[in-house]
Amino acid sequence: MARLRFVIPQLPPQTPPGLLFLTGEHRNWSSDPTGWTFQRSGEGAVLEAELPEDNLLNVKVRIQGQAGEITEEGDAWGGRAPAHRAAFQGGGEIPLPLAGWQDERAGRDRPAQALPPREEWTLQAPWGQQTIRLWWPSGAGASLPLLVMHDGQNVFDEAPTFAGQSWDVGAAAQHLADEGRPCLIAALPVGEDRSHRYVPFGFELNDFAPTADLYLDWIADTLIPALAARFGEVAPKQRALAGSSFGGLVTLYGGLRTPELFGTLGVFSPALWPADFALLRWMEKRAAPAVRVWLDMGDHEANTLKGAAEVVALTHRVAEQHLRGKVAEVRLMVGAGHWHDEAAWAARFPDFLRWWLSGQD
């Protein structure tokens, strides 16, 4: 076991009263403070704990109030904050700087640093009004190569993001446009029904009631025709579909399910595990000879370094055993030091974008 010392250097102003405690993936994000309570020390707090060696920590600080209410650390605008992450193989000190606490502001006043979408559009969908966040370079002509992206709330600026991080897709796309490779991006935000809409197989998180096929049918039958009517027709070879985690899962599933719709798939850190890896069994009899696939994974996407290595090995097997020879091209990338988060996907996205657009030549 490794002896660790978690240190909050300074508690934010207006920290609520109550028990400060640590939670994270190592505790399945439990809100029970037992055994993980900080001791206040000066302006901050300290927790000493033992954890197994070879851990990849993904943790947050919470407070249990006098009535049992739980408040989680947040950003300076009362919204969600990214988890603290650390890789270690021995003991040591892990600083946990806190910016604030989540509150009724919910990050609504969070300033954007990345480029926002050019426009937000809505279309009717089986689940109600679907927002489409659109970006295209100024001065571009019609019939641009089209990239459809899942988790559209995380794609452009930070203000609507889940945890204050975005892919900053607009900046990457503008850079390619300046080189003479413009494209149109349509990003589709999703909310609490994410596991229903993005996972095509029944499992606990979607209550064994997946709606991924309905979602993909809507993209094919409503979104693509609506974009074509407004921005011009685009051949399937010039269309790409991309997403991460569950969004990577539905990208791979959707691209192989309807291979005539998209010529390129951007499969970032796909969550392959739902329903006991049902996607891999489903893929055994699937082929898409005209489709190019970008497949990537970070080397820190698990709870331990050993587990992360197993995830990377599985990604290699997917490329070699389930895709290569069945699709037109497979591009595999492993991000060194990359975790399962928007910062990692933002770092890898420009390479994917260049690879996709260069394939239009």
* Torsion angle, alpha carbons of 190, 196, 198, 201, to 10: 180
Q: What is the pLDDT of residue 68?
A: 95
Instruction: Read off the pLDDT of each residue in 271-292 and give the average, rounded to a whole number.
Output: 97
Fold of domain 119-358: Rossmann fold (3.40.50)
Q: Taking the domains of the chain in order of start, what are their residue ranges?
A: 2-101, 119-358
- Average pLDDT across the chain, whole number: 94
The DSSP code sequence of 21-42 is: EEEEGGGTT----TT-B-EEET
How many Å is the Cα radius of gyration of the chain? 22
pLDDT band at residue 92 under the 50/70/90 scheme:
confident
pLDDT band at residue 159 under the 50/70/90 scheme:
confident
Instruction: Read off the pLDDT of each residue in 114-142 and give the average, rounded to a whole number.
Output: 93
2-101: CATH class: mainly beta
pLDDT band at residue 91 under the 50/70/90 scheme:
confident
pLDDT digits (tens, 9 = 90+) for 219-275: 999 999 999 999 999 999 999 999 999 999 999 999 999 999 999 999 999 999 999
Q: What is the pLDDT of residue 73?
A: 96
Instruction: Read off the pLDDT of each residue in 124-148 and give the average, rounded to a whole number.
Output: 94
Q: Are the C-beta atoms of residues 74 and 164 closer than 8 Å to each other?
A: no
Instruction: Read off the pLDDT of each residue in 314-321 and give the average, rounded to a whole number.
Output: 98
